[in-house]
């Protein structure tokens, strides 16, 4: 069975600090996808990134960066120079390789609070 | 309208009521999903439709009945719900194995 663990339920930082959100996953599949989503107070999940299991290159997008380590089954997310608008719940997710759509397994989420 | 829309945004219903949640996607995707997000549990996948056929029913009670009349529309029919069914119901769509795009959700309260 697949499982995604986000051990940090809540993180509070002061604006301009860097913050890393941890994600550890379990799967028996050799081919899978990992995702990060942001859920602001409005409730809608916003897609941030998708990474397939064969691509271990780290990725940077503006202030966001992701560190995929297959050896430790982790896919951590770092926000550099955090801003108040980054306050949200962040979800890490794992999908099975399935031709009939994506079966996403979500972690419990990490609530990030960025204080001015 | 663009993206994924859901109506209503808020719904309060009694346990004997029948109601339906609606989801519409304007992205040309071929798969649609229902998720439940309650306060004390991770996001739970309820149903998956691919090319208008249900391909996943994740042990959901029969008081939840999905319907996918075409690739752009998805409904969740609700009947004799329980208070523990109160949650945020999220709809999503994707093109095959690509990332899922989510709607804003329907906040359901069952009295």
Q: Work out the average pLDDT over B51-56.
A: 77
E strands, A53-97, are 59-61, 64-69, 74-79, 88-96
- Chain B residues touching residue A95 (CB < 8 angstroms): 97
Q: Give the per-residue pLDDT at A100.
A: 54
Indicate the average pLDDT of chain B: 91
Query: B48 with B56: CB under 8 angstroms?
Result: yes
Least confident of A32-41, B14-23, B33-42: B33-42
- Using the structure block, give the residue that is written with the tokens 């609530």: A111
Q: Cα–Cα distance between B100 and B111 in angstroms, integer?
A: 31
Tell how far CA A21 is from the center of its chain.
Answer: 7
Check CB contact under 8 Å for A100 and B99: no
Q: Which of A26, A92, A94, A76 is nearest to B97 (CA)?
A: A94
Check CB contact under 8 Å for A100 and B55: yes
Distances (CA, A) of B88 to A60, B94, B105: 31, 20, 6
Q: Give the per-residue pLDDT at B101.
A: 93
Q: Is the pLDDT of residue B57 over 60?
A: yes
Q: Cα–Cα distance between B111 and B109 in angstroms, integer?
A: 6
- Chain B residues touching residue A109 (CB < 8 angstroms): 42-43
Beta bridge partners of B80: none
Q: Give the per-residue pLDDT at B106.
A: 96
Residue A51 tokens read as: 């990474």
Q: Give the per-residue pLDDT at B17.
A: 87
For chain A, which residues score pLDDT lower than 70?
97-102
């Amino acid at each position: 069975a697949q499982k995604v663990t986000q051990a940090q339920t809540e993180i509070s930082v002061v604006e301009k600090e860097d913050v890393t959100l941890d994600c550890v996953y379990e799967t028996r599949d050799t081919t899978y996808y990992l995702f990060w989503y942001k859920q602001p107070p409005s409730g809608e999940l916003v897609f941030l990134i998708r990474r397939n299991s064969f691509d271990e290159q780290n990725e940077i997008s503006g202030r966001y960066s992701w560190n995929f380590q297959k050896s430790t089954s982790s896919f951590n997310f770092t926000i550099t120079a955090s801003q108040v608008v980054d306050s949200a719940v962040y979800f890490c997710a794992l999908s099975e390789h399935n031709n009939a759509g994506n079966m996403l397994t979500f972690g419990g989420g990490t609530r990030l609070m960025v204080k001015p | 309208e663009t993206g994924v829309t859901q109506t209503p945004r808020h719904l309060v219903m009694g346990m004997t009521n029948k109601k339906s949640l609606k989801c519409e996607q304007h992205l040309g995707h071929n798969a649609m999903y229902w998720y439940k997000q309650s306060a004390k549990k991770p996001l739970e996948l309820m149903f998956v439709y691919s090319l208008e056929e249900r391909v996943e029913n994740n042990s959901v009670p029969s008081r939840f009945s999905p319907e996918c009349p075409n690739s752009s529309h998805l409904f969740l029919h609700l009947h004799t719900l329980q208070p523990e069914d109160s949650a945020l119901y999220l709809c999503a769509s994707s093109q095959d194995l690509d990332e899922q795009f989510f709607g804003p959700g329907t906040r359901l309260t069952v009295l």
